Chain A
Amino acid sequence: MALWLWALTLLDLVGSGVGLRSRKLDFFHSETELNHLVVDNVTGGVYLGAVNMLYQLTADLQLVQQVATGPALDNKKCTPPIEKSQCHEAVLTDNVNQLLLLDPLEGRVVECGSLFKGICALRSLSNISTRLFYEDSSGEKSFVASNDESVATVGLVSSTGPGERVLFVGKGNGPQDNGIIVSTRLLDRANGREAFEAYTDHATYKAGYLSANTQQFVAAFEDGQYVFFVFNQQDKLPSQNRTLLARMCKQDPNYYSYLEMDLECQDPGDRQSPPFGTCLAASVDSARVLYAIFSRDASGGGEGTRAGLCLFHWTRSMQDGGQRNACYTGSRESGRNTFYKAFHGEIQCGSHMLGASESFPCGSEHLPYPLGSRDGLKAKAVLQRGGLNLTAVTVTAEDGHTIAFLGTSDGRILKVYLAPDHTSTEYGSILVEINKRIKQDLVLSADLTRLYAMTQDKVFQLPVQECLSYPTCTQCRDSQDPYCGWCVVEGRCTRKAKCPRAKETGHWLWSRDNSCVTITSAQPQNMSRRAQGEVQLTVSPLPTLREDDELLCLFGDSPPHHARVEGDTVICNSPSVIPTTPPGQDHVTVNIQLLLHQGDIFLTSHLYPFYDCRE
């Protein structure tokens, strides 16, 4: 029996594998390289930023609109608008999409390209061909994104207060960039300022001349009154690569509230080596955990490459003001070892009253700012991979279980279950496009059923789960997919939400609980075919059953009859007709099946022997 079971499992695995590989994935193909992808959580629409092109797609990746954004005459040194007479070096230049964000509240898309010093446009969410705002002659105040294709720009559309929509931007700087690192931009004309101008004169952080560091931004996200940035920073003196988490109050026109601290992801698989150096992607979940992918070799690929996933519980340390208080009220000397002025060097800590960080949750002009702390967050990687890079991460929760989808440099999506005990299990993977790096924007669809994955020039939609493809409880269980469980009364492998009575005990058996309904024992263990009676079957786990569930007992080919349920035992009457005992044997084995709903749904089965004393 055991052998049979094993063979079945193997067959199942091969089957599903074949099925996956042979199945043609739905994808959208772009003529030019893709840069960014966002999803409208209301309509489910997908927006793509590509080189010289923007696309508006349906949730099923059907093209709705496309609009060209380049190429155009430009030179990185020149101030737009470009006039050939003023800018002799201007040549036809591609427009790389640097920033693509949605503002569903106002029904618009924010889009910035690498052309023209990184100026931006507002477009209609319902039709991206409609440009709501674009101004290329406003000069440097309108330069938002990095104009260097190799330097990342991240952003976030949010509000500083009621009704006031702003854009928070974090970016590094190429050689011909404007030096601005973090800025808050208006999205509407206000107080004589145009869209994309700085929110206030002080709402920018700029790199100093010959600044001591360069930044590569990874992610921006918000939580409550705060906006967060994750970025890599290369310090010149001392030379080191750092990954930083920065936080600012959204309502902070003077930028007094900025606080940054190190993020350190340690590689438990290699105790000798230093922590991972570069963060390649990051995502947050609703539980305020930051999932960040780190790499040892940012250049990607190769044998020496190691990548890992680290989880940071940032809320506590970033929000209780402990860090800031340590600087405000601590000693000047200890402050010097821990704190520094972000982007610019030294800071003077100390000499402020106790509780300064509580009194001034968003800092103040008299408190040191922008504050940087070397006393950052440390975590051990929950998952590591060698020989390839992890390039994208998105995290979702299904029934309280955390699932991470990780993109790889070799074109796969890894499905990872993250257990509450901080262990991780890769339970599956999907090959998207062989040896094509999965781009950083790995996004779930609005209804969370699909995952959009992007390669060089294709966008794929992948189902987050395929529970229904597992016909039996065993297959369902062996998938180990945290989305899936066996819906007992329906006899299908489903998401919990798709199982009508999942809330009732024993009705939805989660795959990762490794259980299916089985008969663990029968009383009596066997029965004489001449002296028949009731068979008491112990069923585990036995779902709670109602009258209309109609649990039937079926002995071999005998007509089914109603079973009686007492506690966790199911009582069946032995059949009137029992198959003949095979010659040479002293018993005959009959398969007892328990069926639900007039025999439509198979619950479980058991082989029961009837002996024959005459033989």
Chain B
Amino acid sequence: MGCFTRIVCLLWGVLLTARANYQNGKNNVPRLKLSYKEMLESNNVITFNGLANSSSYHTFLLDEERSRLYVGAKDHIFSFNLVNIKDFQKIVWPVSYTRRDECKWAGKDILKECANFIKVLKAYNQSHLYACGTGAFHPICTYIEIGHHPEDNIFKLEDSHFENGRGKSPYDPKLLTASLLIDGELYSGTAADFMGRDFAIFRTLGHHHPIRTEQHDSRWLNDPRFISAHLIPESDNPEDDKVYFFFRENAIDGEHSGKATHARIGQICKNDFGGHRSLVNKWTTFLKARLICSVPGPNGIDTHFDELQDVFLMNSKDPKNPIVYGVFTTSSNIFKGSAVCMYSMSDVRRVFLGPYAHRDGPNYQWVPYQGRVPYPRPGTCPSKTFGGFDSTKDLPDDVITFARSHPAMYNPVFPINNRPIMVKTDVNYQFTQIVVDRVDAEDGQYDVMFIGTDVGTVLKVVSIPKETWHDLEEVLLEEMTVFREPTAISAMELSTKQQQLYIGSTAGVAQLALHRCDIYGKACAECCLARDPYCAWDGSSCSRYFPTAKRRTRRQDIRNGDPLTHCSDLQHHDNHHGHSLEERIIYGVENSSTFLECSPKSQQALVYWQFQRRNEERKEEIRADDHIIRTEQGLLLRSLQRKDSGNYLCHAVEHGFMQALLKVTLEVIDTEHLEELLHKDDDGDGSKTKEISNSMTPSQKVWYRDFMQLINHPNLNTMDEFCEQVWKRDRKQRRQRPGHTQGNSNKWKHLQENKKGRNRRTHEFERAPRSV
């Protein structure tokens, strides 16, 4: 038998069936799943496993210009080389013994709390960073010198100049802080007291008096947890620049029955200097709106994802209108789900220009404010664009009074298309972080999301428009484990320059490339099916796609992932360069059962089996019935009959494309010949075995031995017991075997091991013979 790849164009009926199946459940699993070991062995991840006296590598600052990643951690600040994070410098910035003892006396944990956890790490100017830490429940800040030029190679603490960090860093390392440093002023959403009760959005540093949100007013902030802060221009006039804070908080009293969390976007004007007589040194332009991320349910009851975890702003050509990506989880302890929602800034602005939420008193409902809104409209920045006044200090009394009591908008911000672009509910993990990369592909631009989870994995997802831009399809390209132990990913940065992703957790920092094109396979069809916008088939392999260099032989189809149209002319070519069709011979005894193993490397592919009776050309589709049971790993044939002998063809069907993976030739030995066979066995077991298995892979030998055992032990007369034994040994040997696929290149090794890993975890459900 020759080695070849088959591309079979099926009848429409088959295709439709496959498509239907595909949509029924396989698109939500990652196409490729890479374990930590696989990542490590294939050099696809570089890890910094942390220092013994440090932890909590949560605060990231990316400096593409200097090619450094600054990371704030417990008692340390690191400067990693973006090329390879194994190359790093560090600053040790612990707290004094006195401070630590005071913290201990205050009843705090000496290891987990009484240290300097760096919470703020921002670029201050050309030569300095600004850093703040919890300082063992006594926040402190200072400057870090990094030199004017990358080659200066300076990285040191300005230890002569420490500042009070209150209102900049939280006291409690468990609390989140969102901060932004622009023009020498630090905006931070944090808790400004030891107890972690006085939450506010502050502006500190700089020459102006510090400014904050109103205290003790749950309408402004209600036990918030800040996620991030961003400067987004409103117009071409910098006077209109606004700082947006993303946070989650308790729903305002009366807004929701019982306790609930709401995700929020809050705005303040960059040129807000507080009121003159009222709201003195308080924001006068603060407004907030709810961010909705929900899936419609029956009877109009939606499933809400309210626990905002992370936000990423995807900048477009227009700096005023970045796309806001938000990662949300459910508030439920039982129903664990995550979602990604996308928001447009024009929707956000529309809500801030809409009705204010208003309530006449504690016993009233929140209603849209219908009365006269004072001029200038609260929330508008003082600027020439809208005219009228120069500073928030000039705002009329009624504007300030109105602003104080109407900080919330009545309408929420709905996501683009009114629903999440991605939902994950059937898994035992939740999303924690997101970064998005805009990738140019042959057929357009694609946003590739890298989503960090609370179990130390990164999901690489591309959203592909189906018919229109409003109908997006999420393709989960990869699921990669980047930390040895399951640990929540708490920070992520993406370097477009380096094409690398940097990931932080309590345990350490990991670095991985944005793409691993060669992992999809050498063949055009494999590369095409992957639908990875970073990758294209370049004529000889699957490699990084660069839109600038036009090449005739390049093939890519992100939108449809259709190799039929893109790779059919290269069929012949593939035969030479692609992978070979694997063939096996399996022997089965009449009335016993046998298992034909076949699982595709893509987890999104469906398996399609065909049967070709001996000496017949015609192939028929195998349909599952009492006799044939389909499993994830292959086909289980019960109570073999002589007529079952023939060729079994295993195909992977993915995206309407069918690819032959394996051909198994099954020989059924009837019971009459069994005695004869046993006799021969007494004569010379070895020679016979060799003869049968001359073209077999080690794994096929296992199957053969199992078969022989059946013959040697006629007492094992029940199928169940037999199968039980087979599977158990199979499992054991798979664990021991170093590598088992004969004649195939090593590049699949990790993939197959990954499959093994999965088998190990799931076999009890999927393969339990008792359920047969």
Using CB atoms and an 8 Å cutoff, list the residues of chain A in contact with chain B. Answer: 77-80, 86-87, 137-141, 179, 206-210, 344, 351-353, 364-366, 368
Binary contact track B365-407/A, C-beta < 8 Å → 1, others 0: 0000000000000000000000000000000111011000000
A–B pairs, 8, beta carbons within 8 Å: A139-B278, A179-B216, A208-B216, A209-B217, A351-B107, A365-B195, A366-B108, A368-B195
B656 adjacent to chain A (CB < 8 Å): no
In the complex, the answer to whether A210 meets B216 with C-beta atoms within 8 Å is: no
B258 adjacent to chain A (CB < 8 Å): no
In the complex, the answer to whether B107 meets A207 with C-beta atoms within 8 Å is: no
Give the residues in chain B near A344, CB-CB below 8 Å: 216
Q: Which residue on A lies nearest to B220, using beta carbons?
A: A209
In the complex, the answer to whether B275 meets A210 with C-beta atoms within 8 Å is: no
CB-contact partner of A209 in B195, B219, B401, under 8 A? B219
Give the residues in chain A near B108, CB-CB below 8 Å: 366
Give the residues in chain B near A87, CB-CB below 8 Å: 397
In the complex, the answer to whether A207 meets B280 with C-beta atoms within 8 Å is: no
B768 adjacent to chain A (CB < 8 Å): no
CB-contact partner of A140 in B105, B107, B280, under 8 A? B280
In the complex, the answer to whether B218 meets A210 with C-beta atoms within 8 Å is: yes
Q: Which residue on A lies nearest to B102, using beta carbons?
A: A366
Q: How far is the CA of A562 from the CA of B280 in the complex (A)?
A: 87
Q: How far is the CA of A179 from the CA of B214 in the complex (A)?
A: 12
Q: How far is the CA of A141 from the CA of B397 in the complex (A)?
A: 15
CB-contact partner of B217 in A208, A353, A364, under 8 A? A208
Q: How far is the CA of A353 from the CA of B253 in the complex (A)?
A: 36
Contacts A139-B277, A210-B218, A352-B106 aside, 20 further interface pairs with beta carbons under 8 A come to: A77-B401, A79-B278, A79-B397, A79-B401, A86-B396, A86-B398, A87-B397, A137-B277, A139-B276, A139-B280, A140-B277, A140-B279, A179-B216, A206-B215, A209-B217, A210-B362, A351-B107, A364-B106, A366-B194, A366-B195
Residue tally, chain B, CB below 8 Å to A: 26
B246 adjacent to chain A (CB < 8 Å): no
Q: How far is the CA of A87 from the CA of B401 in the complex (A)?
A: 12
In the complex, the answer to whether A78 meets B193 with C-beta atoms within 8 Å is: no
In the complex, the answer to whether A210 meets B397 with C-beta atoms within 8 Å is: no
CB-contact partner of B218 in A179, A208, A353, under 8 A? A208
CB-contact partner of A207 in B193, B216, B275, under 8 A? B216
Q: Which 5 A-B pairs have the closest CB atoms?
A: A139-B277, A366-B106, A365-B194, A209-B217, A206-B216
In the complex, the answer to whether A353 meets B275 with C-beta atoms within 8 Å is: no
B483 adjacent to chain A (CB < 8 Å): no
Binary contact track B574-587/A, C-beta < 8 Å → 1, others 0: 00000000000000
B137 adjacent to chain A (CB < 8 Å): yes
Give the residues in chain A near B216, CB-CB below 8 Å: 179, 206-209, 344
Give the residues in chain A near B193, CB-CB below 8 Å: 365
Give the residues in chain A near B253, CB-CB below 8 Å: 210
Q: How far is the CA of A248 from the CA of B267 in the complex (A)?
A: 38
- Per DSSP, are chain B's interface residues mostly helix, strand or loop, or mixed? loop
Binary contact track B193-218/A, C-beta < 8 Å → 1, others 0: 11100000000000000000001111
Q: Which residue on B lies nearest to A77, using beta carbons?
A: B401
Distance (whole angstroms) from the CB of A370 to the closest CB of chain B: 11
In the complex, the answer to whether A141 meets B401 with C-beta atoms within 8 Å is: no
Distance (whole angstroms) from the CB of B363 to the closest CB of chain A: 10
Give the residues in chain B near A210, CB-CB below 8 Å: 218, 253, 362
Q: Which residue on B lies nearest to A254, using beta carbons?
A: B193
Q: How far is the CA of A137 from the CA of B275 in the complex (A)?
A: 12
Q: Which residue on B lies nearest to A365, using beta carbons?
A: B194
Q: How far is the CA of A179 from the CA of B396 in the complex (A)?
A: 21
In the complex, the answer to whether B107 meets A353 with C-beta atoms within 8 Å is: yes
Distance (whole angstroms) from the CB of B198 to the closest CB of chain A: 9
Binary contact track B97-116/A, C-beta < 8 Å → 1, others 0: 00000000111100000000
Distance (whole angstroms) from the CB of B351 to the closest CB of chain A: 22
Distance (whole angstroms) from the CB of B245 to the closest CB of chain A: 19
Q: How far is the CA of A351 from the CA of B107 in the complex (A)?
A: 6
Using CB atoms and an 8 Å cutoff, list the residues of chain B in contact with chain A. Answer: 105-108, 137, 193-195, 215-219, 253, 275-280, 362, 396-398, 400-401
Q: How far is the CA of A39 from the CA of B278 in the complex (A)?
A: 35
Q: Given contacts A77-B401, A78-B397, A79-B397, is CB(A141)–CB(B219) below 8 Å? A: no
Distance (whole angstroms) from the CB of A130 to the closest CB of chain B: 26
Distance (whole angstroms) from the CB of B582 to the closest CB of chain A: 64
Give the residues in chain A near B400, CB-CB below 8 Å: 79
Distance (whole angstroms) from the CB of A361 to the closest CB of chain B: 15
Give the residues in chain B near A179, CB-CB below 8 Å: 216
In the complex, the answer to whether A79 meets B107 with C-beta atoms within 8 Å is: no
Q: Which residue on A lies nearest to B253, using beta carbons?
A: A210
In the complex, the answer to whether B277 meets A138 with C-beta atoms within 8 Å is: yes
Distance (whole angstroms) from the CB of A259 to the closest CB of chain B: 16
Q: Which residue on B lies nearest to A350, using beta carbons?
A: B107
Q: How far is the CA of A352 from the CA of B280 in the complex (A)?
A: 37
Q: How far is the CA of A368 from the CA of B276 in the complex (A)?
A: 34
In the complex, the answer to whether B397 meets A352 with C-beta atoms within 8 Å is: no
Q: How far is the CA of A171 from the CA of B275 in the complex (A)?
A: 25
Distance (whole angstroms) from the CB of B513 to the closest CB of chain A: 46
Distance (whole angstroms) from the CB of B288 to the closest CB of chain A: 14
Q: How far is the CA of A77 from the CA of B401 in the complex (A)?
A: 9
Give the residues in chain A near B194, CB-CB below 8 Å: 365-366
In the complex, the answer to whether A79 meets B277 with C-beta atoms within 8 Å is: yes
Distance (whole angstroms) from the CB of A124 to the closest CB of chain B: 27
In the complex, the answer to whether A366 meets B137 with C-beta atoms within 8 Å is: yes
Q: How far is the CA of A87 from the CA of B278 in the complex (A)?
A: 14
Q: Which residue on B lies nearest to A141, using beta carbons?
A: B280
Q: Which residue on A lies nearest to B405, using beta carbons?
A: A209
Q: How far is the CA of A188 from the CA of B195 in the complex (A)?
A: 32
Give the residues in chain B near A77, CB-CB below 8 Å: 401
Distance (whole angstroms) from the CB of B640 to the closest CB of chain A: 68
Q: Which residue on B lies nearest to A329, using beta carbons?
A: B107
Q: How far is the CA of A419 from the CA of B279 in the complex (A)?
A: 54
In the complex, the answer to whether A352 meets B275 with C-beta atoms within 8 Å is: no
Q: Which residue on A lies nearest to B103, using beta carbons?
A: A366
Give the residues in chain B near A78, CB-CB below 8 Å: 397
Q: How far is the CA of A206 from the CA of B216 in the complex (A)?
A: 7
In the complex, the answer to whether B107 meets A366 with C-beta atoms within 8 Å is: yes
Give the residues in chain B near A137, CB-CB below 8 Å: 277
In the complex, the answer to whether B275 meets A139 with C-beta atoms within 8 Å is: yes
Give the residues in chain B near A80, CB-CB below 8 Å: 277
Give the residues in chain A near B106, CB-CB below 8 Å: 352, 364, 366
Q: Among the interface residues A139, A365, A366, which one has the most CB atoms of the partner chain B within 10 A? A: A366
Give the residues in chain B near A141, CB-CB below 8 Å: 280
Give the residues in chain A near B137, CB-CB below 8 Å: 366
Distance (whole angstroms) from the CB of B734 to the closest CB of chain A: 51
Give the residues in chain A near B362, CB-CB below 8 Å: 210
Give the residues in chain A near B278, CB-CB below 8 Å: 79, 139-140
Q: How far is the CA of A352 from the CA of B279 in the complex (A)?
A: 37
Give the residues in chain B near A207, CB-CB below 8 Å: 216
Q: Which residue on B lies nearest to A256, using beta carbons?
A: B194
Q: How far is the CA of A209 from the CA of B253 in the complex (A)?
A: 10
Q: Among the interface residues A79, A138, A344, A364, which one has the most CB atoms of the partner chain B within 10 A? A: A79
Q: How far is the CA of A139 from the CA of B193 in the complex (A)?
A: 26
Q: How far is the CA of A140 from the CA of B400 in the complex (A)?
A: 12
In the complex, the answer to whether A209 meets B277 with C-beta atoms within 8 Å is: no
Q: How far is the CA of A137 from the CA of B280 in the complex (A)?
A: 12
Give the residues in chain A near B275, CB-CB below 8 Å: 139
Q: How far is the CA of A77 from the CA of B405 in the complex (A)?
A: 13
Q: How far is the CA of A137 from the CA of B398 in the complex (A)?
A: 16
Distance (whole angstroms) from the CB of B201 to the closest CB of chain A: 16
Q: How far is the CA of A78 from the CA of B399 in the complex (A)?
A: 11
In the complex, the answer to whether B215 meets A352 with C-beta atoms within 8 Å is: no
Give the residues in chain B near A206, CB-CB below 8 Å: 215-216
Q: How far is the CA of A208 from the CA of B253 in the complex (A)?
A: 12
In the complex, the answer to whether A352 meets B396 with C-beta atoms within 8 Å is: no
Distance (whole angstroms) from the CB of A605 to the closest CB of chain B: 76
Q: Among the interface residues B216, B276, B278, B400, which one has the most CB atoms of the partner chain A within 10 A? A: B216
Q: How far is the CA of A406 from the CA of B215 in the complex (A)?
A: 42
Distance (whole angstroms) from the CB of B103 to the closest CB of chain A: 8
Q: Which residue on B lies nearest to A351, using beta carbons?
A: B107
Give the residues in chain A near B279, CB-CB below 8 Å: 140
